[in-house]
Structure formats: C-alpha cells, structure tokens
Structure 1
C-alpha cells in the first residue's frame, strides 16, 4: 500500500522486528520540512516524550515537564527515541520492520538530517483548527495522508490533510471500505463524518504552526472523504 492515513495506520501500532520480536508502540511520527516546504515522514517516535504531548492543551506540556523534572540529570530526557522510517517493511495491524528488533530504537541524534531542517510531529498537526469558508465551523485536521512507499526514504510525502468537524480518531477506519467492522456502526460513523473532506496540500493550504491553525483558500479542492 502506497497511501496511508498516518494517525489511523501508524499511531499506537505495535512495531515488530523481522525476528518477530516486539519492539515498541508508535507514540508519534516525525515529519521533516524540506527546503521547498514539503513535509516528509522520517521516523517513528516512541517513548513518553513522544506520547505525553499528544494529550494536548495545557495537560500535554505539563505532563512532559513533570516527566523531565523526574530525571534532571538526563539532558535529553525530553527527546523521544526514534525508529528510522526506512526500516519499515510493511504496515497492517502491526508495523513490521525489515531488520531484527534489537537495537533499532535509538536516541535522537542528527540522523543525517541537517540541523537547519525543521522537524514537526504528527501529533502537533492532528487536531489543529481549520479555517475554511466551505467547511463547517469547528472543523479541524482529522488525519494526515501520506503517499509513496514508507520503506523508501525520501519517496513518501504528506500529500493531503483529512479535515472536517469532529474529533481526530473518531473515524475508526470506517472511511475505508476494506476496514473490517459491524456494518451498522460503519454507517453511523460515515453519517457523522459526512462533512469530512480531503484537501491536497498546495498554495491554497497554509499550515500556520505559530498561530496554531490551518487556513484553506477558496481555490482549494475539497474532495469527499467517504464513499
């Protein structure tokens, strides 16, 4: 599969090595901003420093600070551990690596990414409020759509945002016909998210992290998410 909804298919999934050894669960996904503004997934993030900020609001930063305060002798305690995305072989109900599970989780170092290149986190994008005249009020980013094979570094990109009213994660995978689940529940979920849309990234879409919002212009193409 060369198309993934990152929160749905990657977050909280078990990572397993090629030797069937459980490695970790995915607590967040690192997105690197290339010079042309393209967002590229570069690593799976694991550990409490990746998980705690996802609680959002004031609670996430507060929990992270408490965690850091418990280990003041560790200078990098606030930094999550990483698994290189190029080690991913397949994504299903679990994320399987192409190598054995030993020693694939490591502390954040440069990893060959120039320090001038900005790193974002998926958890910081999902839930951002969306301003768009053609969407209902209180719309937000529900998910981030990746295109291209994850296992080939540099080829996977953030191609689109899934936006609409509701709560991130509430789709439960029912936006995809091949996802299993009770038909009655699927129909209810699809009805609740009938206003959700997929917007391709481009000049009409501005992700303003400083302001904490996404602005979608009048010329952007908003495609229905649900079939």
Structure 2
C-alpha cells in the first residue's frame, strides 16, 4: 500500500499474519482496537492478539465460554497489543518496524477506557436506514492512513462503513478491482452484495455501539461498492 491508501479493516487486517523486522513471525491479528477522539473521529490504535481478542468476535459456544471464564482468568482475559504506530506496511501481511517477538499485554485501565472499542464490536451490528434493505448490517470499516505513521502526525482514521445484507468478511475483497481473483467468482460475489453500500461517517450517521446499531438518516449519501 502507498501513502494515504484506503483499506478495509476486516479485509486487510483481521486474521493477517504480523511480521516483525528481519521477517520474524510475531502473531496473527485477532482484532483491532479503535479509539474515539475528542472531535468524534474514530481511529484504529492497535492490533490485538490472542484468544481474549479472537473469541469475542466469534458467535456461539466459544464466545459464551469466553464470557463465562473472564472473571476467573484475571489478566489473562486481556489481549496482547501491537500499537498501530509500529505498523510499517499493510499488504498480504502486516509488517512491523521492530522485531517484537514478545508483545505486551493490554493494561486493565486501557481495556476499560470508555473511549476505546474493538472492530469486533462494530462488525455485524444492525443498520437502521429506510433506504437500505432490512437486515442490513456493518460488513466492514474503511480506513485511510499512512503506513508507518499511525498515531503520529497523520493517524489512520475510519472514514466510512460498508453496510448491507450478508455477513462480515463475505465480500472477500471482490468489491475492489485491485483485489485479484477469478472473474467468475468476483462477478458472483458482487452480485450477491449488489445491495451493499459505502456510507461516509459524518452528519446523518450515528454509530451507537452501546445500543448495538448504526442509524443512518434518510437522504444520507449511500454509494455503491467500488467495482
């Protein structure tokens, strides 16, 4: 990716291999921390690693088991953290500018900060909009940023949501011409997600994680997926 690239969090970060300097394998991205700034902007601030990051993203028995065991696990319910400022490049893997064979564990105060949330808290939540099909939900988050500069002069920032029927991760990158793949498969995926839209964050869009929904006012711009 080049400077000021636009990328999708679920597609380009979640479950990708983290590679440190000298090609040292570090871990896989199990979730991504988001921080809401005082001006309302939502920025990714860290890659989260480990079962405490992965299990809450899963539905069913594994997620319920995680919630039941959190109290007994003490600090083991806190994920490991790689601050996004360490990210040098986002591509087929996520490259760090340090070796970081051992990541620090998230501090309790950081985990309980009300201004911080996780991408897993946002993916799949319902979208309320009169101009979208029923059962629409958040499929992915669009981010712009400069690799190697997250959290510094030019932080990465969530600028839009991909919303529509379906499930997170089902786009498989075929909403983008830049993502290679069989043309037939790409056509099928785009047809299945023909009702999906990109909505820029801003006036008319309320991301209410506490209520578990996104509310989009009538008349808000809903752009077709880039194809």
The answer, yes or no, to whether TM exceeds 0.5 is: yes
CA RMSD of aligned residues (A): 2.0
Equivalence for 2:70: 68
Aligned positions of 1:1-227 closer than 5 A: 1=1, 2-56=5-59, 59=61, 61-68=63-70, 72=72, 75-103=74-102, 105-109=103-107, 118-154=115-151, 155-227=155-227
Counterpart secondary structure, 1:77: helix
Structure 1's unaligned 5+ residue stretches are none
Distance 1:116 1:176 in 2: 35
Distance 1:93 1:212 in 2: 31
Q: Deviations over 1:163-215 (max 9, x none)?
A: 01111111111111121211111100011111111100012001112221100
Aligned residues between the structures? 221
Counterpart secondary structure, 1:35: coil
Structure 2's unaligned 5+ residue stretches are none
Higher helix share: 2
Q: Deviations over 1:35-81 (max 9, x none)?
A: 1221111000000000000013x645412135536xx3x52121111
Counterpart secondary structure, 1:11: coil
CA drift at 1:117:
5.6
